[in-house]
Amino acid sequence: MLLEAQGVTKAFGDFWAVAGADLAVEEGEIVGLIGPNGAGKSTFFNCLAGDMQPTSGRILFNGVDVTRASPEAHARAGIGRTFQVPATFEDMSVLDNVTVGAFLRHPQRNDAREHARRIVEMTGLRPEQAGRSLGTPGRKRLGIARVLATEPRLLLLDEALAGLTPRELQEAIALVRRIHESGVTIVIVEHIMEVIMTLTRRVLVFNQGRVIASGTPEEVVRDDAVIEAYLGRGARSHSRASGNP
């Protein structure tokens, strides 16, 4: 098992954002995390990435306990992440942005530069373009390129494909697929069902800090608890009556 989260909780005062979540990801999988707004998936995601420390529970990566490890240690271990709002290094060029990530495995400047160039080429960005001049699609792509440069074994994508036009979305899906084919395991938080349905084979649905359903994308969209979580209590009976998920 590459990633294992066991009974992870995260409390902010009396409020339990994550109330005992489990997740197990095999090497080579693409797993989707979905759920309505405020379901706790981003908090859970931040715990997986080391950005937040869980209140209780354990997170194992490749058999090593990383529950209390820093984000830097996560990156060194091989866990990479993107951000919902891409945190571009504005004053740096695209190539420089990616070089920051490349330095993790290539401490020498020339090696890091060369590795960064390969990643930039693969993600279809212009190396000399200034970070600040990128639009949303470019920033999302740069976020992925930067983390890819750290050569992660596990990639955590936090709504990395949100806010794109249909054409940009197709390109981004193709990019994620290429990354996966190169041997990177992926956990993806996404609201766009097209992304989940196209890319993932297994989905976990979050609601009120808990995993309420898991299975293939086709299974979870028909799950009563999922329909109720997204559409409210009345929707389940309506869905049954109409015969639609």
Choose the stretch contacting other proteins; rule: CB under 8 A; options: 1-9, 20-28, 104-112, 118-126: 104-112
Q: Residue count at the site for other proteins (CB under 8 A)?
A: 30
Residues 6+ apart with CB under 8 A from 200: 30, 31, 32, 188, 217
Candidate list 39, 49, 199, 212; residue touching other proteins; CB under 8 A: 49
d(CA 19, CA 82): 24
Q: What are phi and psi of 12, to 5 degrees?
A: -115, 95
C-beta of 100 vs 122, nearer to other proteins = 100
Q: Work out the burial of residue 230: count CB atoms within 10 Å of its CB; fewer than 13 is exposed, 13-18 middle, 19 or more buried.
A: middle
* Pairing mode of beta strands 30-34, 202-207: parallel
47 binds other proteins (CB under 8 A): no
Q: Would you count residue 42 as binding other proteins (CB under 8 A)?
A: no
Q: Are residues 45 and 33 in contact, defined by beta-carbon separation less than 8 angstroms?
A: yes
Q: Beta strands of 26-170 (E only): which ranges? A: 30-34, 56-61, 64-65, 79-81, 154-158
Report the residue from 18, 23, 66, 104 that binds other proteins according to the rule CB under 8 A.
104
**41, 81, 115, 139: residue in contact with other proteins (rule CB under 8 A):** 81
State yes or no: residue 186 binds other proteins (CB under 8 A). no
52 lies in the binding site for other proteins (CB under 8 A) = no
Return the structure tokens found at 62: 């490749």
Question: With respect to other proteins, which residue has the nearer C-beta, 147 or 213?
Answer: 147
Kindly indicate which of the ranges 61-69, 73-81, 166-174, 231-239 contains the residues binding other proteins, using the contact rule CB under 8 A: 73-81
150 touches other proteins by CB under 8 A: yes
183 binds other proteins (CB under 8 A): no
Instruction: Report the alpha-carbon distance of residue 64 to residue 203 in Å, rounded.
Output: 24
β-bridge mates for residue 33, sequence order: 189, 204
Residues in contact with 150: Cβ distance below 8 Å, sequence separation at least 6, in sequence order: 75, 80, 101, 102, 104, 105
The reply on whether position 147 binds other proteins by CB under 8 A is yes
Give the CA radius of gyration of the chain.
Answer: 18
Q: Out of 53, 56, 70, 170, point to the residue binding other proteins (CB under 8 A).
A: 70
Which is closer to other proteins, CB of 90 or CB of 218?
Answer: 90
Residue 44 vs 213, nearer CB to other proteins:
44
* Contacts with other proteins, residue ranges (CB under 8 A): 49, 51, 70-72, 74-76, 80-81, 83, 87-92, 96, 99-101, 103-104, 107, 109, 112, 146-147, 149-150
